[in-house]
Amino acid sequence: MSMCAVALELDDTARAGLERVAASGGSTVRAARQARVLLWAAEGLANEEIARRARVAPNTVRAWRRGFEAGGLGWLDTVAPGRGPGRSVSAEAEAAIVADTLCEPPPGGASCWTTREMAARHGVGKDVVARTWREAGLRPWRTDIFKISADPDFEAKLADVVGDCHFLCVRGVV
C-alpha cells in the first residue's frame, strides 16, 4: 500500500504564477509541465497519478515538489548542477574550431567556412560547430567591411544609379 503525499501548500500568488506558466505559450515545455505537476500536487493528487498524467516518473514528481518548496516560482525550469546534456567536445577542440575559423582560409577558394566543412575538418558534428561559433560570437558568413568593386566601369555605373552627388560623397570628395 502506497502512502499519498500531502497536498502541496500554495498561496494565492504562487497558484496564480503556476497557472500563468502552465497556460502560457511563451513558457518552455519543461516549465509548463512542472507547473501543471505542481498544480495537481496542490489539488492533493497522489504522486503516482500525477506521474501518469504528466508522463514522468513518480520520483520526478517528488523531486519537483521538493525543488518548488525550496525555491518557489524562481525554481521552475532550472536544471540541477550535473544534470542535462554534457559537452560532446573538449574546450581544446572548440578553441581549435575558433582559431581555424579566424585564421585558416576555407577550402576550394570559398569566401567563408561552412559548418559542415569545419565539422569535417575537426571530426565533429555541424551542430557542435554552429554552437561553438554562436558562443564565440562568430558569424563567418558576414562581412563587416564594404569593398569597392574592381570593375573598371564601377564609377560610371555608380554615378548612373545613385547620382553624382552621392558618388562624390562616397569617394570622400564632398
Q: What is the pLDDT of residues 139-171, one digit of tens each?
A: 888 766 556 677 888 777 877 776 655 444 444
Q: Which domain holds residue 150?
A: 145-174
Indicate whether 2 belongs to any domain: no
Indicate whether 5 belongs to any domain: no
Q: How far is CA 129 from CA 53, 88, 122, 144, in A?
A: 38, 11, 9, 21
Which cell is 60 given? 520526478
Q: Do 130 and 168 belong together in one domain?
A: no
Mean pLDDT (the chain, rounded): 84
Q: Do 43 and 70 belong together in one domain?
A: yes
50, 41 Cβ separation under 8 angstroms: yes
Indicate whether 84 belongs to any domain: no
What is the C-alpha to C-alpha distance for residues 82 and 134, in angstroms, rounded to an integer? 23
Q: Do 95 and 124 belong together in one domain?
A: yes
Q: Do 106 and 127 belong together in one domain?
A: yes
Q: What is the largest CA-CA distance in the chain?
A: 90
Q: What is the average pLDDT across 12-21?
A: 93
Q: Do 60 and 106 belong together in one domain?
A: no
Q: What is the pLDDT of residues 113-127, one digit of tens each?
A: 999 999 999 999 999
Band (pLDDT 50/70/90 cuts) for residue 77 is confident
**How many domains are contained in the chain?**
3
* Residue 155 CB partners (closer than 8 Å, separation 6+): 167
pLDDT, position 164: 56
